[in-house]
Amino acid sequence: MNKIIPVLLMALALAACGGGNSPSAPAQSPNPNPGNTADDKARVQVISNRPDLVSAGDVLIEVVLADAAAADELVLLRNNSDVTSVLQATADNPLRLLGVVDGLSVGENTISANIGNSVTVVNHPSGGPVFTGPHIQPWVCQDGAVDEACNQAAEYHWLYKSTNPMQSGLQDYDPENPATDVAMTTTDSGETVPFIVRKEIGYQARDQYTIFTLYKVGDDWTPVQPQPQWNRRLLVTHGGNCRGDHDTSSARTDDYAGTIPGNPLIEQSYITALGLGWSVLSTAQLNLGHNCNLSYQAESLMMAKERFIEQYGELRYTVGTGCSGGAITQNMIANAYPGLYQGLLTTCTYPDVMSTATQFADYHILLKYFGLTADNPVAPTTRDGTVFTASQQNEVYGHLNGIVNASLADSALFAEAVDPASSCGGVTEEERFNKDTNPGGVRCDVLTFMENMIGARERYPAEDPLRDHWSQMEQDLGYGFAGFPLGNEGVQYGLIPLQQGLISPAQFLALNTNIGGLDPSLNVTKGRLKPDYPALPNAYRTGILNTIVNMDTVPIINMTGPDPGAAHDSVHGYWVRWRLEREFGHRDNFVHWGGATALIGDANYMNQSLVAMASWLDAIEADVSETPLAQKIIANKPASVQDQCNGVPGQMCPEELMLVFGTPRTQAGADKYGDQVQCQLKPFSRSDDYGPFASTWGEADWALLEETFATGVCDWTKRPLEWQRTVTWLKYQDDKGDVITGGEQMTPADFPAGWASPAFYKTWEPTWQQP
């Protein structure tokens, strides 16, 4: 008798009696499999990932039988070896079989049914890479790693929530010596269980992942039959800042990781989620303060989700949550790798890395011009001797607290992240770049860290082939450094204050003729900064400059408070909203919660938004119509999930209340969207509006401005220079493993059925393919 027949008969009996685990698994995938024919009695497909992106040697397989009799004939083969015994019938559909097939070789494998189709599975090493290109080097693994890929067997730890209100967070739990103060929790499906959590710690993609699950100690849990308290929802946590470390680290789970400390009186949302029956996943590479490379983050999340599904079961949906860099990661992945998240919970929001870098680069250049240092926070004169009051400097910055805001942004975020001589994990001082003693050393800036995406500086780019774009250091080394996608060519700093009479024509003239630009080592240059190629177009193409064009297929709840004047401007969250409105004519998939608490709005928002997002996604999940996903998101938004201001539903907080300020570029006349990393140019004209006192300029002044802007001034009525749609699901390596700079789109494939319920992908447009 076939090994799966007894299991199938039991499943048929359970189905007839209405038995099985609750909540049920997502319905079987409606995706057709190209290998099937009308005569096939079984359909085989991979559901834990795309078949060509599998890693770590195993995969969750679905086999759907034509009828019960087919079970007696079925033989499932892995590279011609019989693995039928791994299959088990699901409780809610006895003709649907699931099983984890392991023992996959690195490279191509064939999984086939003797009475059905075959599937080619491309397996990648647990340490990666899967699609990101050659590993960045050097890299230092954790203690306990068994090889250079940082592999290490998964470990399991037990935690619990205490009934003692003085014990915040989760405490260590010993199943052999159970604690007496274990709290009880009731999940959102009504199951009441002890609040005991199993924590899995493992390593993939040369870095750590963690998985938390509400767990009944001593009971079995398989991907076919998970424990019933799990609601098949997954929460993914992230971390803030932006760095490029060269070593393993630990995954972050706290709500405002890397940005602000949590409130011990407010429960962390990941703990709230566990108590409701969610599982929680995080990886070290989803901490932007450790790994500021979008492609590495997306790969890490994809691999960890595959691991989760193969160990714990199919998902209904995945929700991201995070602050600052945690919001950046969610926004960028949702746009560049849609489908990895089904919902986003963002706070302390930025849309991406490069929009912010542009603002902070302007800050850096302006700080150098105004002569500000830690010891001289309000310099009365600039480096050319021109006097600007503190109020006038703030006008140029575009922020009420511009001097402090710019200084914090520069010292805490920009300079450290972009300086190649800065420190980074895994790189010793002897290994690290030094312009004088080690110019060929490891560059710890984030641009080098994301070089697979943006590319190295072209020496003679087609856009400017007559000028050598390499520095003397690059010429001596014989290669270009990672490109800088930003530029300030044509930017007329302080134009709006000039037009308003807040700075004088003499100040405007001195500022713009002397501000200069930057070189690859952040040294101020006399000439303006021109963006590097291919970095500029690749920034938009790859999604590190978030065009938002693919983000109508994900619900977003964004939480914000008044601008704190500490490098986290409230306007950054509005950039997401405004770009959605620009690209789609609405932002109906974007809900905005404003509150009185600086930066975050309200300390309770993270927990409240989790529940709100679940109600939204549950409503979408129930809509199995053929309506496109983007429309489902809008049509199924509950009335209870709407904009709110200080707890008042249906109201959007006025921008004045949220202290929404501008940037140096908006003060130069730029549009509000924040993505003008380099403007398109138009000829300089004396007839343009230079304010009520421009008549004080003499011929020599006009001539100096014409010389400064010889290539033109910004035409803010046009899209940014080289703006283009972000291309979804790029890979950065070819079949030989060599890097594809700027990426190449993967071939189309079915959405992995284990990632979400059918409502989220049944009408997926596009399926891994962006026209």
The average confidence (pLDDT) of the chain is 92
Say which amino acid occupies 215. Y
Strands 107-113 and 184-186: unpaired
Which one has a higher pLDDT value, 331 or 1?
A: 331
Coil, helix or strand at residue 331? helix
What's the pLDDT score for residue 766? Answer: 45
DSSP-based three-state secondary structure for 733: strand
Q: Is 122 exposed, middle or buried (0-12, 13-18, 19+ CB in 10 A)?
A: middle
Phi, psi of 88 (to 5 degrees): -145, 135
Q: Which secondary structure element, helix H or strand E, spans residue 619, and what is its range?
A: helix 605-621
What is the percentage of the chain residues whose pLDDT exceeds 90? 85
User: What 3-state class would DSSP assign to 691?
Assistant: coil
Write the single-letter amino acid at 203.
Y
* Residue-wise DSSP of 691-751: -TTGGG--HHHHHHHHHHTTT-EE-TTSPPTT--PPPSSEEEE-TTS-EEEEEEEPPP-PP
The alpha-carbon radius of gyration of the chain (Å, integer) is 28
Centroid of chain to Cα 685: 42
CA angle 211, 216, 220 (to 5 degrees): 85
Return the closest-CA partner of residue 483 out of 159, 142, 200, 722.
Answer: 722
pTM across the whole model:
0.95
pLDDT at 4: 57
Residues 6+ apart with CB under 8 A from 657: 562, 594, 645
Mean pLDDT within 150-159: 98
d(CA 378, CA 482): 34
Amino acid in position 454: I
pLDDT in tens, 445-484: 999 999 999 999 999 988 888 888 899 999 999 999 999 9
User: What's residue 750's pLDDT?
Assistant: 87
Q: List C-alpha distances in Å: 747 to 51, 125, 244, 337.
A: 12, 21, 29, 14
Helices vs strands, H then E, count in the chain:
19, 29
**Residues 578-634: tens digit of each pLDDT:** 999 999 999 999 999 999 999 999 999 999 999 999 999 999 999 999 999 999 999
Q: Which of 212, 221, 341 is nearest to 274 (CA)?
A: 212
Distance CA 231, CA 25 (A): 9
Contacts of 668 (CB under 8 A, 6+ apart): 491, 492, 493, 494, 495, 496, 714
Backbone angles phi, psi at 78, to 5 degrees: -115, 110
* pLDDT one-digit tens code per residue, 243-259: 999 999 999 999 999 88
In this structure, the number of other CB atoms found within 10 A of the CB of residue 551 comes to 27
DSSP state of 410: I
Beta bridge partners of 556: 344, 590
Q: Which residues of 578-600 are buried (b: 16+ CB within 10 A; e: fewer)?
A: bbbebbbeebbbbbbbbbebbbb
Q: What angle, rounded to 10 degrees, do the helices at 505-514 and 699-708 form?
A: 30
pLDDT single digits (tens) 624-667: 999 999 999 999 999 999 999 998 999 889 999 999 999 999 99
The yes-or-no verdict on residue 416 having pLDDT over 90 is no
Alpha helices in 117-239 (DSSP H): none
Cα–Cα separations (whole angstroms), residue 736 to 107, 445, 733 = 11, 28, 8
Q: What is the pLDDT of residue 265?
A: 82
